[in-house]
Amino acid sequence: MLVVMSNSATEKDIQRVAMFLEAKGFEARISHGEVRVVVHAIGVKEEVDQRDFELLPGVLEVIKVTTSYKLAARVSQGQDTIVEVNGVKFGDKYTGLIAGPCTIESYDQMDKTAQELSESNVKILRGGAFKPRTSPYTFQGLGEEGLKVIRSVADNHNMAVTSEIMDISQIEMFMRYVDILQIGARNMQNFNLLKELGKIHKPVILKRGLSATYEEWLMSAEYIMSGGNNQVILCERGIRTFEKYTRNTLDLSAIPVIKKLSHLPIIVDPSHATGLRDKVEPMSRAAVAAGCDGLIIEVHHNPEVAVCDGAQSLYPWQYDLLYKQIKQIAPIVGKEIV
Ligand code: PEP
Ligand code: MN
């Protein structure tokens, strides 16, 4: 349930509503939107009578949220959530860009890639230090050493860092090196991890699970938000279908659907979605045309020698060309790449 306060509501009115909700057994969360203050009633209480709240001073209206996710629901706030990191914005009219290799291999590899990407205006560098590999016998990542490398390379190029976290025990370490924490597809329903990430004050990229429905995905976002962290970026990275030609099947419908259901930004990862370098460019252009709030793209300074996901990694010159193209496409759909 949402209690929307009128423009003339005083701080006292807002506090009264919050206290009344708490007395009824809810947790009250006050959010100050651009236009109005909304008091969210968190918790499940079937027997509550909406009229009790409608009659309180300063209350404009009471909205019953019927979806199973509440804080992530579109109705829960008037405006789109914008997540901003290092001057890059995701959400509303902004399309943010993230690029970098699949995995951190060495200082030299990261530095060469970051150098090239900085020439294409990349401000957020990606790179995995802990890799969720399907086989335990393949490269598992450099671990904390890798995080140190990506942090220092990013600092040298004035970039922010995003990297995938796999376990609760790594949160403290990630807070030291990383600006955006990434939850991989395989961990979308690691509920204990999601709950813990609700307590931190850094943005989280939540990748869609391999076969997750929109509702399951938004419920996972709700786990993070219910802990108090509203900075969630959803990432469509392809789903598992019967088709084997591409690594996954990129579900571009996710963009308009999520925008209807939620105020959270949605970005697209065309690299893991297609698994093929030559499919990354057209699908990136399509995602921007469909109004996505950002892209996360794998780029390696020399993909032929990449330890991981070389076949889907762009050459830096390809990324540069793509960047120039999507910068032209974005304004056609009312978006801006900053
Ligand atoms: C990644 O981004 O490196 C990755 C492993 O992606 P996903 O979780 O989408 O497979
Ligand atoms: Mn990868």
pLDDT at 66 (0 to 100): 84
Ligand 1 pocket, residue 128 CB under 6 Å: yes
* Amino acid occupying residue 258: I
User: Which ligand is the nearest neighbour of the Cα of 312?
Assistant: 2
**Cβ proximity of 26 and 42 under 8 Å:** yes
What is the token pair recorded at 85?
A: 């990191």
Angle at 168 between CA 208 and CA 161, to 5 degrees: 65
Give bridge partners of residue 249 from the DSSP assignment. Answer: 239
Residue for token pair 């890059």: 88
Ligand 1 pocket, residue 126 CB under 6 Å: no
Ligand 1 pocket, residue 294 CB under 6 Å: no
Residue 47 above 80 pLDDT? Answer: no
pTM recorded for the entire structure: 0.94
Gap between the Cα atoms of 106 and 111, Å rounded: 8
Least confident segment among 2-11, 36-45, 184-193, 228-237: 36-45
Ligand 1 pocket, residue 96 CB under 6 Å: no
- 276-328 pLDDT, tens digit per residue, is 999 999 999 999 999 999 999 999 999 999 999 999 999 999 999 999 999 99
Mutate-to-test residue for ligand 1 from 161, 166, 272, highest number of ligand atoms within 8 A of CB: 272
- 174-208 pLDDT, tens digit per residue, is 999 999 999 999 999 999 999 999 999 999 999 99
